[in-house]
Chains A and B, each alone.
Chain A
Amino acid sequence: MLSFLKRFGRLCAGIALLTGSLAMPHVAQAASYQIYSPYVEYGENEIEARGYINQDDDRAVDGTGKLKLSIGRGLTQFWASELYFAKFEREASGNTHLEAVEWENRFQLTPQGKYWADLGLLVETEFATQAGHSHEFKVGPLMAKSFGRTVATVNLFLEREFGPHADSDTEFSYAANLRYRLNPHFEPAIEIYGSPGDIGEFAPKGEQRHQIGPGFYGQFRLAGSPGKIKYSAAALHGITSAGSPDWTFVLRLEYEFF
């Protein structure tokens, strides 16, 4: 275990140095509306599209959203890497532009089922593609615990901008869900996402972002295809008046194959 943690530490340090050295110029901080599992499947490839759109009384927020496209692979038994080669942002006006590219790395730290809960780590770097915007580094633990057919997953993140236009604050955010494994095609869930603000300087309660709502997960195999189609969706209600959109609708599609 100790040698594994040492290897893992060196790997994280290497990734942090590499991603830092690739720095280019503010990517607006926003939820990714994704619950990350701590598990890695060695050799598994994935092609993913996920996005969300906001509905709100405020015209500056209503209709805004994002779409992310990615490819990824389980590189080892404990490391999966994913490249979001296109992150599009939709403005309230309806205009859509390429906002950033992103490199995401997930590490499985404990074997599934060995301890009381399973632990992983997410290390993500987002590079803004627009001049005058800053990049973003995000890191945090991924936890999962099964209770019979119910799986609870909790993600805690620290996010910090870097680059010439970056501010020096570190934002705390969280994402969690409870998912009931009813059958492979339909697993109902409750999801919650939010951010109270920057570490040591949380925003007033009404201005914090907290959203909760129902969702579902599922998967099926395509006849004659070597992989699986995975899908999930959620409808999230803002529970703070000023800091959260009234509603956010999330859709995720993924093709996984070996």
Chain B
Amino acid sequence: MPRTLSCLGLICAALLAAMPAAFADDAQFQLAVKNHQFQPTELTLPAGKQIKLTVKNEDAAPMEFESYELDREKVIVGNSSAVVYLGPLDPGTYKFFDDFHQATTGVIKVVPPKQ
């Protein structure tokens, strides 16, 4: 068993070491949920960039940021925030919603970066 765990440790260490560091120049954006409404309901993001989106849940109830188009699901407990990493994204429109309150919806518009 120790040999098994050693092999596993080596595999994990190699995988972690092989991963480049997170992009230091992540474009940072924020989104809030209050009274079961996204604020803003429409967010414009640059295409082709790594995005660090902080979602702040200002309600007492938990919510789940979910988007099939973005391939993201993230549970955020009440009165707390969580980071959702996105991209690089192609230009287009990506819908998202709160899976726990499905009337709570929003949209991300991804546009080409300004020249």
Contacts and interface: CB of A to CB of B under 8 A. Distances in A.
Contacts of B7: 158, 170, 199
Interface residues of B, number: 29
Interface string B34-53: 00000000000000000000
A258 B1 CA distance: 36
A41 B20 contact: no
Contacts of A258: 64, 75, 100
Interface residues of A, number: 38
Given A158-B7, A160-B1, A116 B20 contact: yes
A121 B12 CA distance: 9
Nearest to A140: B8
B103 interface: no
Contact of B71 (A143, A151, A156, A160): A151
A112 B72 contact: yes
A42 B86 CA distance: 19
A219 to B, nearest CB: 9
Given A43-B75, A146-B71, A119 B20 contact: no
Interface string A1-45: 000000000000000100010000000000000000001011110
Interface of B: 1, 3-5, 7-8, 11-12, 15-16, 19-22, 62, 64, 68, 71-73, 75, 77, 83-87, 90, 100
13 contacts: A43-B75, A114-B85, A115-B21, A116-B20, A119-B12, A141-B11, A141-B15, A146-B71, A158-B8, A170-B4, A181-B71, A184-B68, A258-B75
Interface of A: 16, 20, 39, 41-44, 74, 77, 109-117, 119, 121, 137, 139-141, 143, 146, 148, 151, 156, 158, 160, 162, 170, 181, 183-184, 199, 258
